[in-house]
């Protein structure tokens, strides 16, 4: 940290800080309002009121409701994706592959199956007909990104002779759905109360990985 060189620069930095703070407040407020009222019933006035900024400030940051919502979808999805994929080192020499895959599966379930992510996913799915680009942003940053990463991972594990895989993309999809299918579908249709607790998530991870390795293991 360096001290600002003049009062002018210091004022500028303060102004930048205030702007970033306001932008963050608008995003947080908008997330609350969208998730509570749905996309259609949300209006910019309420978001401005909850964020304690003027409506002009909202529009200065986000030209419209749709831009604002796409930004929320991107930021929630990308943050979840970063957390799932960020802590994914390659399998070490001699490390147990079942344990390695279980750890990944458990992390993915724990990070994705949260009320916030599920609520956003439901809202986005409900608006696919009217706003396909929202769902596209969620797909690309969420399942699409995970699938690309898993495909590359299984390709490397097959090349090392640790898995028997013809088509890494299909194997990635099978792994993903063996682990996520049931709990995700239940959470989507039966609501946040149907999100399994961590011990149950661990059982989904275990059963999914066991079936995956019975099929694709060596």
In the complex, the residues that contact its own copies under the rule CB under 8 A are 35, 38, 40-41, 119, 122-130, 132, 135-136, 138-139, 143, 167, 170, 173-174, 176-178, 180-182, 185-186, 188-191, 207-208, 211-212, 214-216
> In whole angstroms, how close is the CB of 200 to its own copies at the nearest point?
12
* Cα–Cα distances in angstroms (integers) from residue 21 to residues 25, 55, 77, 181, 187, in the given order: 6, 16, 21, 38, 33
> In whole angstroms, how close is the CB of 191 to its own copies at the nearest point?
5
Judged by beta carbon, residue 58 or residue 73, the one nearer its own copies is 73
Judged by beta carbon, residue 53 or residue 187, the one nearer its own copies is 187
Judged by beta carbon, residue 58 or residue 150, the one nearer its own copies is 150
> In whole angstroms, how close is the CB of 62 to its own copies at the nearest point?
22
Judged by beta carbon, residue 110 or residue 126, the one nearer its own copies is 126
> In whole angstroms, how close is the CB of 169 to its own copies at the nearest point?
10
Q: CA–CA separation, 150 vs 169, rounded Å?
A: 8
User: How far is CA 146 from its chain centroid?
Assistant: 10
> In whole angstroms, how close is the CB of 115 to its own copies at the nearest point?
10
CB 55 within 8 A of CB 45: yes
Judged by beta carbon, residue 78 or residue 215, the one nearer its own copies is 215
Q: Looking at the chain, list the stretches that DSSP marks H as alpha helix, in order from N- to C-terminal side.
A: 7-37, 44-51, 55-61, 65-86, 97-112, 115-126, 132-139, 145-159, 168-190, 198-216
Q: CA–CA separation, 159 vs 156, rounded Å?
A: 5
């Amino acid at each position: 940290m360096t001290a600002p060189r003049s009062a002018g620069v210091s004022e500028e930095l303060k102004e930048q800080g205030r702007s970033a703070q306001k932008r963050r407040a608008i995003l947080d407020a908008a997330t609350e309002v969208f998730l509570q009222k749905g996309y259609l019933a949300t209006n910019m006035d309420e978001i401005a009121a909850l964020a304690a900024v003027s409506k002009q400030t909202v529009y200065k940051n986000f030209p419209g409701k749709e831009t604002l919502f796409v930004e929320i979808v991107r930021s929630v999805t990308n943050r979840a994706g970063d957390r799932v994929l960020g802590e994914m080192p390659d399998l070490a020499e001699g490390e147990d592959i079942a344990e390695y895959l279980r750890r990944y599966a458990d992390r993915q379930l724990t990070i994705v199956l949260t009320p916030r992510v599920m609520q956003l996913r439901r809202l986005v799915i409900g608006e696919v007909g009217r706003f396909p680009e929202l769902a596209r942003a969620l797909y690309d940053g969420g399942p699409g990104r995970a699938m690309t990463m898993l495909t590359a991972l299984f390709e490397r594990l097959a090349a090392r002779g640790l898995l028997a895989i013809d088509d890494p993309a299909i194997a990635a999809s099978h792994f993903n759905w063996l682990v996520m299918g049931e709990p995700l579908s239940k959470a989507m249709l039966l609501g946040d109360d149907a999100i399994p607790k961590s011990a149950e998530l661990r059982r989904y991870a275990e059963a999914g990985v066991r079936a995956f390795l019975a099929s694709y293991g060596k």
